[in-house]
Structure 1
Amino acid sequence: MPRLTPPAPGIDSAGAPPAARFSGPLRKRSLLLSIWPFVALAIVQTVLAISSLHILGAMRAFSSGESQWSKGQKDATYALARYAVSGDAAAYEQFHQGLHIPMSDMQARLMLEDRGYAARPQASLLLLQGHNEPEEINALIWLTVYFKHTESIGQLLARWRDSDEPLQELQNLAGDIYACLQLAPPTPAQKQSWLAQINSLQIQLSEAERAFNKVLGDTSRALNAWLWSINIGIAVAMLSLLMGHTWRLQRKTARAEDALDLVSERASTTLAAIGEAVITTDAAGHVMYMNRAAEELLGMSLEQLVTCELVQHMHAPPLVTDRDKPGVAPLVQTAISETLRGHEYPRDTIFRLYDAQFHLREVRLAFTPIGDHTGTTEAVWVLHDVSQEQSYIRELAWQATHDQLTGLINRYEFERLLGVLLARNQQSDLPSAGNAIMYLDLDQFKVINDTAGHIAGDAMLRAISAMLQRCLRTGDVLARVGGDEFAILLTDCAFGEAQRIAEQIRDAAQNVRIQWGERSLSAGISIGLVKLAAPLATVEEVLRVADMASYGAKQRGRNTVYAYDPGVDQEIARYVGEMEWVERIKAALERGHFCLYAQTIGALNTTADDIAGGGLHIEVQIRMRLPDGNIISPVLFIPAAERYGLMPMVDRWVVKQSLRTLAHLQKSGQVPAISCCAINLSGTSLGDERLLGFLQEQIALHAVDPGTLCFEITETAAITHLPNAIRLVKALKALGCRFSMDDFGAGVSSFSSLKNLPVDFLKIDGAIVADMLNEPAHRAMVDAINHLGHALGMRTIAEFASTPEIVETLRSMGIDYAQGYAVGRPQPFSHPAAEAFPV
């Protein structure tokens, strides 16, 4: 649930303002903030006391260890003296047992001084062997490692080191005595010497012991005095600080209470003036406080409602409405009751509230509990009126999904509903009666806008919209998806029934007329009807096909219905395929997926070879390379490029790449050299006034010999764009370029047009050449075109020369050149080698 902080003030049982109830917690918090220095000093003193005890324990460990060390060395000297006199092996063993104690302590000290705390495990074992108390060993190691550089502990360790040399000498002396006794009995003089040495070492060890005890006592007394001084100082500081902070705390607390009383008074005044309803209740929901806005909302004063249960005095709905059905926003009464019982609502929940005039309002409810360690004692409710805001949101949501002119849903909402239907059909295993979509386009609507104005056009759209709604069944979806375009989604509708509805709409549209001044305006309608069936699976595919079906209806004379069933009709599928090729062509131009191939044009006689320049005579052809590496023939994508106006871009790409490659080959000294390179120009490019300037610019840019260039134009394109074609041919021939008339004989040949087009080569259409051996008429046409070309001073080229028999026949007929698989297959033209174009 949302929480409101701070809560609104109320009136407690003692009559004090609610702000007074906050003074206790505020004082506690202020007190805690004020006494933190004392807590810090107490922590310091505690740490110091623990450290003091630890240090004193360590000093006690030194004292205890020294007594064990002293006793051990004394036992060792006495036992060694007895052994020197008597040679008793038991005395010698007692010597080692006694000496082991101080030697173990010495070895532990040396390891700690050398390796520090890392030697703790080994040092602990040695100190245990030195008869030190196990619980004191850690303290002894800690003091030795971390305080060995201090003056006191440093002196203590120095006095301990004074015993290292006598102990080592005592051990060496014992070894000498043992060796002598093993060889022969000692003389009295030897015994006397040994006893004198033992006595001397005993004196040295006793002096080291006394010096160690003196330093140990001095250090303990100094440390004790130092610790007492620090503890007393901290205690005095704490008392002084406590007195000063107590006095300041009292003054600060008094000022805080005064300020809190002032804030409480201001808060009460503010709550009384704000526009949101603020109500305070106890834990059971009985009213304790209301501001003026709450009194106006409920139509009752605080005096009337105080101690009364809030939900019992809020206005109930005057009548049962649709809003009271399951799923709609709950009433505020319900929310308050359930919240007091522990149920929580999301922060953005909208509730319904009926004011004193029984007008419905939409509100957000903020709830803040007030309580102590025993639980919730009071609750603060804030009712924020969001009726106008929600109205704006609903209006914006409607505008986002509807057309303001007609009130129909718009394209975005229609696409969403269509997507839901397609997804449901794909997931459902149950058979369906069928679904269909209609795409409707008004005929000659632009004429109405241009002649009568857009206001008249809007009136016509509203009239058409009303007519369409009358013609549809319950459950059908109608949308305005464009300026004069509508779409209809027919659900659970057989395709035959959908066709009947489409015809009904078309007939009804003919009767829609609006009177505009003295004119009676009408508009027909073209309908594209599409059955929603495989392979149409996405919204994009369906709308594209529906748009094409509508276009097909217009092409059939307008005011018609074009019904498309994906399983039967293939015409739209062809349009879809072409549109896919359009996207592929655009992508190929942008990403460089086109490539060039070249096919040899072979001379069939010596004269023709000389005219071609004596080198390679080739025709450049375009291919498309797919991402998987496959090469696509132009037969698959050129028709789509021609239909949708992409050929100028394709032609310009071919020209640029061809000239770039030719320039490279001419500079690299290609052998044999390319003496004639034919490049195709489409009819659309011929109609472009800027083509000539582009070709001249590219020839100059790449510095290609114009005499090696031959531009191929088709007969049909030349006739269609004859003025431009003549101008282009003459201008480029002036530079030295040559021209070829491609596919001559494929269309309605205009022999007279050849007089106006001074082309150099006449290419006979391959469809005629391919069947000339089997079709006498085709052979006669080839022969006639050949004679015509020669008569006009042109050289002839026969396409589709696929077999050696055709080539020989062409040679015998006097054809100048042949092009086809029997002469040479197309080869990549990026960096061709000489053997790439066999003749």
Structure 2
Amino acid sequence: MNLDEVLALAAERDYTPLERARARRARRQIQQAYAHAVTAGRDLVVDVDPHDPLNTDADEAARIARAAQLAKLGTITWISATGEISWSDEMSLILGCAPGTIRPSTDLLFDLVHPEDAPGVRRTIHSAWREQTVKETTYRVVRPDGTTRYVHCYIEVLIDRFDQPHGIIGTGQDVTDLELARQERDRLARRCETARTELISRDPATGLLTRPRFADEVGRTQRGGSGALLVVAAEPLNLPTSGLDHAAQDRLAAAIAGVVKNVARRTAVCGLVGPGEFGVLLQNTTMASATTIAESIIDSLRGHSFVIGQDRERVRLDAWGGLVRYHDGDDTSSFDLLVDAESAWRQAKRQRVALTVLRQPARPEDRQETCRSRIQAAIAGNSFTLYAQPILDLSLNQITRQEILLRVLDGTGQPVPPSAFLDVAERVDEIWPIDRWVIDHTMELIAHGPRTSHYQVNVSGRSLGDPHLLEHVHDVVKRHTIDPSQVTFEITETALIGNLTQAMDFACGIRDIGCRLALDDFGSGYGTFTYLKYFPIDLVKIDGDFINKIEESRPDQVIVRSFVDMCRGLGIQTAAEFVESEATLRLLRDYGVDFAQGYAVGKPTPVGNPHRALLGSAEIETAGLGGTLRTAIG
């Protein structure tokens, strides 16, 4: 085919508007090259006719807008003579505005562009106008509802029929999914390069020592002499008609703690050792004196009425105590003493007496059997339930994940945090049946929920050493036909890992299945950097102790920023726990934290029957995000 035939074929073809626009841009480039050659004094070896082969009387902006409409792209047009700006219905939807509901303006446009990206967008526009060439840029748009989207835009100068620039048109597309996929590929690439496959004190509601800190105090006093350890448990005899929400439970716990501290000896050390369980460490005392104090505390709790709730209803309590004697030089650990005292108050409740007194710690084999019986009874009696807490993606300002939380039902049938219960289960190697229960019920829940959601599930560090865990996860994922990329397994940094090699096998096996791995309570223990070095961790959850006072704590700010920078360099995402305010959210977003979790995002809510698929249909009401954000999970 010769040149004449090619030109004849081109003349017969009906060009699309987009092809015509591209031809005009090519013609402008030829013109520019021609002008530069003439200015430089170069001889042209051939004649160049800077003529537009697709020249028509149609408006260039209209042609480009029509081509963008066919490609389902949004357009923004600016005319220099009038300063008028307009955008298409498709662009209104990309910007998060219903078509026809707002008046386009330059100020509104740049209000919607993310503040960090706005200077770059302006530079790109000025460069396109100055050079009269097509430029492209990707930037973030913050929609009126607070969500963030990524937009890729081509910016080109409009030329009138006198070949003079008279405006700018931008052709944009929502590329959020593509951008997030690119970021995830980059993160996984960094993670593959950096992951090596070799081998606090006080409860905020009551002001009492937490269980770990209280156990430390018990251990310290054991080395200094004899004494007694008392654990008192209190349960409401009557509940307000509105029930007890989390705030009411905190107020009740604080009131009970006040009574316990007032009646106990001034030198006694008090701690919150579990939900509704209060420890009293009586140092250098006789058993008779300790028994008198214990009985006085129980009588005071039973005789006191507590005003709880918005309706100021009165709540009365029943209480039981377990008292155990310890001596200087005993081999019994502080944990063992706590278990003995807790077993003693449960015995008192079963026998319907106020107090059970142990003159000496229990034998190790008896203690183990008692703990195992308690755990097996809880599993057999279905004394567990699941809650879900939303997790906010800080870059998108959307709830994209849920953490599945275990709750243990107390004597009144109320769900309580399981920390003390799980502590006992881990110590006596009975945690695997509990983890299996959680995994089975969570996977069933996920199978009936939306396939677009992501779920984080807690697994004990001790269970990671169980050779059957990985096989069980593989079987249950296959049985429920779950997309494994929807699931992240969380292990606690301070958890006791029974077998490091088997735990590594599980971590790598989980990744092979397609699930992700997260490290919880990051920074609270001593194995942090070892785990990051040797385990293929995808997500790190920064311990709440570094977050809840970060606005006023310079050390916490420095530590969190260093954690984030380090994890980003290793290809690991970060999440912050215990986020309680919008100011904390803003600070974390500035630091580059990926996810946030806490009451400022949303409180844990019961998930109910898995077959109701509550995780997929329920709405989460989330405060502290520049107003109230209501969003369907997933």
Q: TM-score over 0.5 for the alignment?
A: no
Q: Could you tell me the TM-score, scaled by structure 1's length?
A: 0.31
Higher share of residues assigned helix: 1
Q: Could you tell me the TM-score, scaled by structure 2's length?
A: 0.40
Larger Rg: 1
- Larger RCO (CA under 8 A, 6+ residues apart): 2
